[in-house]
Amino acid sequence: MADALPFDGSEDFLRVRYIKVGQAPTRDDGWTHNKTDPHIIISRVRCGAYTTRWGGHMVQVAAGEAYVAPPHTPLAITHHIDPHLGRMERSWIHLSVAANEVLDIADLIELPIHLDAQATAPFGEIMDELLGTSVQDLAAHARRRELAYRTLRLLAARSRPRPGAAELLSRRSVLGTVIAHLHQRLAEPHDVSELARVAGVSSATLHRHFLAHTRCTPLRYLKGLRLDASCRLLAEGDLPLSDVAARVGFANPFHFSREFTRRFHASPAAWRALARDGQRRPS
Domains observed in the chain: 2-161 (2.60.120.10), 171-276 (1.10.10.60)
3-state secondary structure of 161: strand
For residue 270, give Cα distances in angstroms to 185, 191, 204, 231, 260: 27, 31, 39, 11, 11
- Give the separation between CA 258 and CA 260, rounded to whole angstroms: 5
Cβ-contact 81, 88 below 8 angstroms = yes
3-state secondary structure of 80: strand
3-state secondary structure of 116: coil
What is the greatest pairwise CA distance in the chain?
Answer: 64
- Reading the chain (283 residues) residue by residue, the pLDDT tens digits are 555 555 555 666 788 888 889 999 999 999 998 888 899 999 999 999 999 999 888 999 999 999 999 998 899 999 999 999 999 999 999 999 988 767 788 888 999 999 999 999 999 999 999 998 876 778 888 898 899 999 999 999 999 888 877 777 766 667 778 888 998 899 999 999 999 999 899 999 999 888 877 778 999 999 999 999 998 899 888 899 999 999 999 999 999 999 999 988 889 998 888 776 654 443 3
Q: pTM score, two decimals? A: 0.80
